[in-house]
Amino acid sequence: MPEVTPRPDALPLCAAGELVERGQALLFDVLLWGQPARAFALRYEGRVVAYINRCAHVPVEMDWQPGEFLDIDKRWIVCSIHGASYEPLGGHCVAGPCGRGRLMPVDVHEAAGRVYWYPSRDVRPVIFDEPAAPFSPA
C-alpha cells in the first residue's frame, strides 16, 4: 500500500522507532477544550494509536507509571485507578467501571519514519510562548 503524505496540519510527534510494539507510550501535552491535558501514543499490532490520557470512568490520568498503560499481558489499556480495560485499537471499554465509554482518540499518522498527530476542534496543540526578547536599554 503506498504511503500517504501527512496533511498540511500534521504536527510532528516522534520518530516511528520510538514507539515499539506494545511498549511504553509517548506522552504529549495538548489542550482539551482549551484546558491543559495529556495525550499518549503507543504502537499496537503495528499501528500507532493515540488517546487523551483520561479514563471514561472518572476523568483522571490512567497510566500506572508515566507512559505505562498496558496490562501485564500487554493486551489491554488499563486504568490504574479502578482497573477499567480498553481495547487498544479502538479505545472502547471492554471491562471494568467504564461502561460503554471510550477513550477519546487523537488522530495520528505514520509516514517516512515519523509519527504525526492532527489537532481537532476539541484537541489543540499547546502553544509555547516565544522567549522574551533580550532587554536593551533605550
Give me the residues that bind ligand FES (CB under 6 A), please.
Answer: 55, 57-58, 60, 62, 79, 81-84, 96-97
Nearest distance, CB of residue 54 and ligand FES, angstroms: 9
CB 87 to ligand FES: min, Å: 15
Residue written as grid cell 470512568: 57
Q: Cα–Cα distances in Å, from 31 out to 13, 24, 92, 123, 138?
A: 15, 22, 22, 6, 38
Cell of 20: 515499539
Closest CA relative to residue 44, chosen from 83, 18, 75: 75
Nearest to 51 by CA among 87, 23, 11: 87
Give the residue with the Cβ less far from ligand FES, 26 or 55: 55
User: Which of residues 26 and 62 has its CB atom nearest to ligand FES in the complex?
Assistant: 62
Cβ 53 to ligand FES, closest distance in Å?
Answer: 11
CB of 90 to ligand FES, least distance (A): 17
Nearer to ligand FES, 62 or 70 (CB): 62
Whichever of 19 and 70 has its CB closer to ligand FES, that residue is: 70
Name the β-bridge partners of 110.
115
Which of these, 47, 52, 50, lies nearest to 110 by C-alpha position? 47
